[in-house]
Amino acid sequence: MTFNKKYSARTVPAVLAIGIFMGGVFTGCGPVATQGGVNYVDRQETSMPAANNKDEQDKIMKDFQAMIENDVKLPEIIKFVDANISKVSKEKAAKMVDELEKLQQEFLPDIDKRFYSDGTIQAKMSEAFAEGFDLDKIFAIEDEKVKGLLEETKNSGYKVETAEGMFFPVIDYEFYKKYSEYVTEDIREYINIMAVESSSTPAKDAALVIGWDEVLKRASNQEKFINQYKDSVKVDKVRELHRKYLTFTLFGLNNTPLFEYDSKAMDPKAKEAYLKFLEYGNSSEFRTIVKDYMSLLEKSGYKLTDEVVKFRENLVGKSN
């Protein structure tokens, strides 16, 4: 995913450079429906859209697959999905969304290169962004080449992000919310989780840009998904995201370290957020990790010691 590409080894402590590289309450898990060898989970019974029988739905899926195999451009595939996703079952709709995301991930490196193919592109975006620091201002650029690239980016389901002074495309998961009512429960919740990441990226320039409380909240929601939808086609992607948030929780980032480099003392805002987090909610594996971590830190006066270092390294090793 995009954030994995943008997070380099220097954005986490050196000890994590190897093996580690973007809410709500979930209810009971239901029956597993298999579509094309991939499991999609929905606790509600599958219902056929009244206006479409199996043959009609199969034709829609066949046409969708043909577009993929013939390398039809993303904007056209998106138009097809928009027009047909309400006409098929939840499982088939989930399959369409899954395939669409794969196509976006596959095409992302190509469109990303075009953001750097001409030095003037970044310069013009930077100039527009500097006028009030509103990222949406770049879409008002009149240069035909840049305008065309940005329109294609948007029509392909991406948005533009900026970090370290550069502009680049990422998948816009808010865009997927229009499909939420048509897909299975697990895909709907996956969209919600990823939309949070897309709307408010957790880190930029090797620093957290969300609060410690938000880090813990997102990690908890990710864990709920993993436990709720063990058979989901998206569970591995959420596990990967959760591992990143475990890293944030135990280490912070280079420019937002959990412990001060000189004094080794825990960030006071993080300490407050972690203790408050433990006051509420049900027990879970992640909550137990935070509880054990804070219990160990309490003994050390909330300072980074060799014992604390060993504790978090063991946890990170187990998560990979």
Nearest by Cα to 274 from 219, 192, 226, 196: 219
pLDDT at 39: 42
pLDDT at 52: 59
CB 101 within 8 A of CB 171: yes
List phi, psi (to 5°) of 311: -60, -50
Q: What is the pLDDT of residues 41-63, one digit of tens each?
A: 443 444 445 445 899 999 999 99
Where b means 16+ CB within 10 Å and e means fewer, 27-41 reads: eebbeebebeeebbb
Average pLDDT on 206-226 reads 97
CA distance 172 to 174: 5
CB 100 within 8 A of CB 81: yes
CA distance 201 to 3: 8
CA distance 157 to 183: 18
pLDDT category, 255, cuts 50, 70, 90?
Answer: very high
pLDDT at 235: 98
CB 154 within 8 A of CB 139: yes
| pLDDT over threshold 60, residue 34 | no
Prediction pTM value: 0.80
| pLDDT over threshold 50, residue 29 | no
pLDDT at 57: 96
pLDDT at 132: 62
CA distances 50 to 54, 63, 86, 89, 97, Å, are 11, 20, 11, 10, 21
CA distance 218 to 201: 12
Average pLDDT on 240-265 reads 97
Q: What is the pLDDT of residues 150-184, one digit of tens each?
A: 999 999 999 999 888 899 999 999 999 999 999 99
**Strand ranges inside the chain, DSSP E:** 32-35, 38-41, 158-163, 166-171, 203-204, 207-208, 252-253, 256-257
pLDDT category, 103, cuts 50, 70, 90?
Answer: very high
User: In the chain, pLDDT over 90 holds for what percent of residues?
Assistant: 68
**Strand ranges inside 83-139, DSSP E:** none
- The larger pLDDT score, comparing residue 187 to residue 39, is at 187
CA distances 289 to 44, 120, 174, 212, 219, Å, are 33, 48, 31, 15, 12
| pLDDT over threshold 90, residue 70 | yes
User: What is 148-213 written as a DSSP string?
Assistant: HHHHHHHHTTEEEEEETTEEEEEE-GGGGGGGGGGS-HHHHHHHHHHHHHHHS-SEETTEE-S-HH
What is the three-class DSSP state of 61?
helix
| pLDDT over threshold 80, residue 78 | yes
CA distance 51 to 56: 9
